[in-house]
Chains A and B, each alone.
Chain A
Amino acid sequence: MSDKAKSIASKKSSGQDERLQKVSKLRLLLNRPELGALGGAILVFIFFGIVAGDTGMFSAYGMLNFLDVSANLGIIAIAAAMLMIGGEFDLSIGSMIGFAGICIAIPAIYWGWPLWTSIIFAFAMAVLVGYFNGILVVRTGLPSFIVTLAMLFILRGATLALTRLITGRTQVPGLRVLIENDPIAWIFATDTFTWLFNWLGSMNLIALRTDGTPLATGIPPSVIWFIAATLFATWILMKTRYGNWIFASGGDKNGATNVGVPVGRVKISLFIGTAIASTIFATIQVLDAGSADTMRGNLKELEAIAAAVVGGCLLTGGYGSAIGAAFGALIFGTVSMGIFYTDVDTDWFKVFLGAMMLIAVVFNNYVRKRVTESK
């Protein structure tokens, strides 16, 4: 055994190892990519708690309002984060949302398909689009930024053109009546925990309608999907071999290939992931609004990427966290709705979004330097 190894062994036996372990646990915590986003979320809540505490923002109905917005954004932000960790971008997320919405609405309203079939059709199209994005990026070696930017235009244009061609308009309404009794739609359209809200209402703990029922009826489906997506993505990244492959593909594409990681397959599957997340978003929205619109999802990919960056994901790949992206989405959702409780002009929200991104990138850069330089 080398001298150094002997000294390590002796340290262990003398109990000094416990102290070393404690220091590294704290360091580990401070070095996590989620830290910035968590801190940001706490700050945002403190801010609005002080400024808008008694405006109704933190009433049950008010909280559901910003949580719903955060959750919807979170679903696509998490998928965008995983793709970013894998070293790529998907700028076509917003266009996919519009496209998926039309894939659900047109068959259901104009071709007489049952709603559940249309929903499955939309997800099938998502797999195709994601696969197409992935294959293009992997085979051509072109930057995904360019490939998916092209798909952004292609998908949006196709959505507009096909919808006008088939329906003569840019909107497809009339879906709400189809939700009842549909075997699949309820998964995307049902409020949960209604018993809890009924009970809170009966105890007069939350606001009531004039007929005595609670104003806030239940947890919206987006929140359940959001929590499920966060747990699923975190499990994949942290606990599976595939997750290690994602980090490797983003961290060093060539090196990973050299040690046997199937980088191409990993990236293609991540693109399918963002397309599916876009379709989940679209399905929830279409069923909530009862209609599809060709312009839905416009610019959402930028918000998703911003949330992922705020959540600690490096634009160059190989580092990041799904939980961080979740907190990033929570920050943006809370502020985008919270701003309406104040007297601040809502145009400032865009300034806030950009400023948050800058601060997050600076902070994450600092954390990353500490992670790779501390000894």
Chain B
Amino acid sequence: MKTLYKSILAFAAWVMLSVSAFAVDVIVVSHGQANDPFWSVAKNGVDKGCADMKISCKYVAPGTFDMVEMAKLIDNAVSQKPKGIVITLPDAAALGKSVKAAIAAGIPVISMNSGSDDFASLGISAHVGQTEFEAGVGGGQKMKAAGGKKALCVNHEVGNVALDRRCAGFKKGFGGSVDILGTSNDPTEIQKAVAAKLGGGYDTILTLGAGLAGEAALKALESAGKVGSVKLGTFDMSPGMLKAAAAGKVEFLIDQQQYLQGYLPIAIFGQYMRYGTMPAGVVMTGPGFVTPANAAKVIKWAAQGYR
């Protein structure tokens, strides 16, 4: 028993000596976990921004998509009295109280990635991201220019307001008929659901996520031998879809350029801390289109964690 106690105490002492805590300039509270392939790119942007601005930052996220926990993390950040807080805003109703408390405490807040509709009403200084509706419009226009007439918009996360907007914007930009297909976020189920719809005469498919939905839809098209006859476009990027684009199988990927979503808020705060400057409104990071023309370069940068 004594040796067990001694080893526990020794371990605790070691932990205490190696753990440190110090005041940070900017805290980023995001709903995206750092080990997620999409969000690791954004976090790279945050890290680069901190290095370039020569300030200290911290990136925190809840373990799962849990708005209650995220609100707690914002409160936690406020208690540390940073010079600025960057958040994502996937649910303004749930996070609003904590965001308002942060601003009332005199800490400026910038939002990124999600919440382009709600950030202003909460008192957030600026929003950095891609507004979903406009990005959808851009995608729709591109598909229309490519000759599409009947489209299927695959929504793999029904209830996510941002995704609903993407389909709505696409409909506006496309002009032709657009049907919405709601699925779960299980890739096999998505593939089956899309395959089932292929008999419906669609010549265009838009997915709202690349790794999950895009690749599943691509698989469905390949199995049915419809690659090329049915144009596939997707929001966001994944290694599989990038390769497919380089091979000409995908019309475009809409890159919201989350690296900028991580980098720009830090850059903004860096200048704010020095000279008090702050942009007003939305700083658009997308839609950036990755097409067969530039896919190869993007693949290289994606491997390095910048796209």
Interface residues of A (CB under 8 A from B): 43, 47, 50-52, 54-57, 59, 61-62, 64-65, 68-69, 164, 168-171, 173-174, 176, 207, 209-211, 213, 215, 285, 288-291, 293, 295-296, 298, 337, 340-344, 346-347, 349, 359, 362, 366
B63 at the interface (CB under 8 A from A): yes
The contact of B78 among A164, A215, A293, A341, by CB within 8 Å, is: A215
Given known A61-B79, A169-B159, contact A366–B22 (CB-CB < 8 A): no
CB atoms of A65 and B75 under 8 A apart: yes
B23 at the interface (CB under 8 A from A): yes
Given known A210-B104, A296-B68, A346-B63, contact A291–B76 (CB-CB < 8 A): no
B145 at the interface (CB under 8 A from A): no
CB atoms of B76 and A215 under 8 A apart: no
CB atoms of B79 and A210 under 8 A apart: no
The contact of A337 among B35, B72, B81, B105, by CB within 8 Å, is: B72
CB atoms of B68 and A43 under 8 A apart: no
CB atoms of A68 and B72 under 8 A apart: yes
Tell me the total A-B contact number using a CB cutoff of 8 A: 112
CB atoms of A343 and B93 under 8 A apart: no
Q: Which residue of B lies closest to A346 (CB)?
A: B60
CB atoms of A341 and B21 under 8 A apart: yes
Interface size band for B: 35 or more
Residue of B67, B76, B97, B158 ringed by the most chain A CB atoms within 10 A: B76
Could you say which residues of chain A place their CB within 8 Å of the CB of B12?
43, 47
CB atoms of A290 and B21 under 8 A apart: no
CB atoms of A289 and B19 under 8 A apart: no
Could you say which residues of chain B place their CB within 8 Å of the CB of A51?
16, 19-21
CB atoms of A210 and B106 under 8 A apart: yes
Given known A169-B159, A340-B60, contact A50–B78 (CB-CB < 8 A): no
B51 at the interface (CB under 8 A from A): no
Residue of A56, A62, A209, A285 ringed by the most chain B CB atoms within 10 A: A56
Could you say which residues of chain A place their CB within 8 Å of the CB of B77?
340
CB atoms of B64 and A298 under 8 A apart: yes
Could you say which residues of chain A place their CB within 8 Å of the CB of B105?
207, 209-210, 215
State the CA gap A170–B61 with chains docked (Å).
Answer: 21
The contact of A344 among B19, B91, B97, B104, by CB within 8 Å, is: B19
State the CA gap A342–B94 with chains docked (Å).
Answer: 26
Given known A210-B104, A210-B106, contact A168–B158 (CB-CB < 8 A): yes
Given known A47-B16, A359-B8, contact A55–B21 (CB-CB < 8 A): yes
CB atoms of B19 and A215 under 8 A apart: no
State the CA gap A56–B106 with chains docked (Å).
Answer: 15
Instruction: Write 16 A-B pairs (CB below 8 A) sorted by A numbering.
Output: A50-B16, A51-B19, A54-B23, A59-B79, A69-B72, A164-B158, A171-B159, A207-B105, A210-B105, A213-B104, A288-B71, A290-B94, A291-B93, A298-B64, A337-B76, A343-B21
Could you say which residues of chain A place their CB within 8 Å of the CB of B80?
55-57, 62, 341
Could you say which residues of chain B place their CB within 8 Å of the CB of A52?
21
CB atoms of B19 and A65 under 8 A apart: no
Residue of B61, B71, B105 ringed by the most chain A CB atoms within 10 A: B105
Could you say which residues of chain A place their CB within 8 Å of the CB of B298?
none
The contact of A341 among B66, B76, B91, by CB within 8 Å, is: B76
Q: How far apart are A333's CB and chain B's nearest CB, in angstroms?
A: 10
CB atoms of B71 and A61 under 8 A apart: no
Could you say which residues of chain B place their CB within 8 Å of the CB of A47?
12, 15-16
B293 at the interface (CB under 8 A from A): no
Q: Which residue of B lies closest to A343 (CB)?
A: B20
B280 at the interface (CB under 8 A from A): no
State the CA gap A211–B103 with chains docked (Å).
Answer: 11
Contact with A along B14-45 (1 / 0, CB 8 A): 01100111110000000000010000000000
B273 at the interface (CB under 8 A from A): no
Could you say which residues of chain B place their CB within 8 Å of the CB of A170?
158-159
Q: Which residue of B lies closest to A350 (CB)?
A: B63
Could you say which residues of chain A place their CB within 8 Å of the CB of B1?
366
Q: Which residue of B lies closest to A341 (CB)?
A: B21
